[in-house]
Amino acid sequence: MTSKPMTHEQLVKTMLKNPAVKAEAERLNREEFALLDQILAARKSAGLSQADVAERMGTHAPAIARLESSLATGKHSPSLNTLRKYAQALGKRVELHLV
């Protein structure tokens, strides 16, 4: 008899039992939340709403809401090009550093 395949959630739960995997997942989450904090602070500092940023990027407010929430949930990582457009809409630029 063959076993039933694991769901994504079951696989993640199993993998996170490994301390090394859990530590790496937590590190990645901290980095993404740090980026989200920077993005939201920059938008607030610029005095712009999601709709304002969307207009400057040539898109719609729900797309900006999805971009910001994707960083909060970790379900999707925006492309560097998208982050550049977002930064440009705020009058900023993206700098990427390897440490």
Write the CB contacts of 22 (distance below 8 Å, at least 6 apart in sequence): 16
Average pLDDT rounded to a whole number, residues 65-92? 88
Angle, helices 50-57 vs 61-73, to 10°: value is 110
Q: What is the 3-state secondary structure (H, E, C) of 17-59?
A: CCHHHHHHHHHHHHHHHHHHHHHHHHHHHCCCCHHHHHHHHCC
pLDDT digits (tens, 9 = 90+) for 3-34: 788 887 888 788 889 988 888 877 777 776 78
Give the Å distances, CA to CA, from 69 to 33, 45, 76.
10, 19, 9
Fold of 8-89: 434 Repressor (Amino-terminal Domain) (1.10.260)
Q: pTM of the entire structure?
A: 0.66
Q: What is the average per-residue pLDDT within 65-89? A: 87
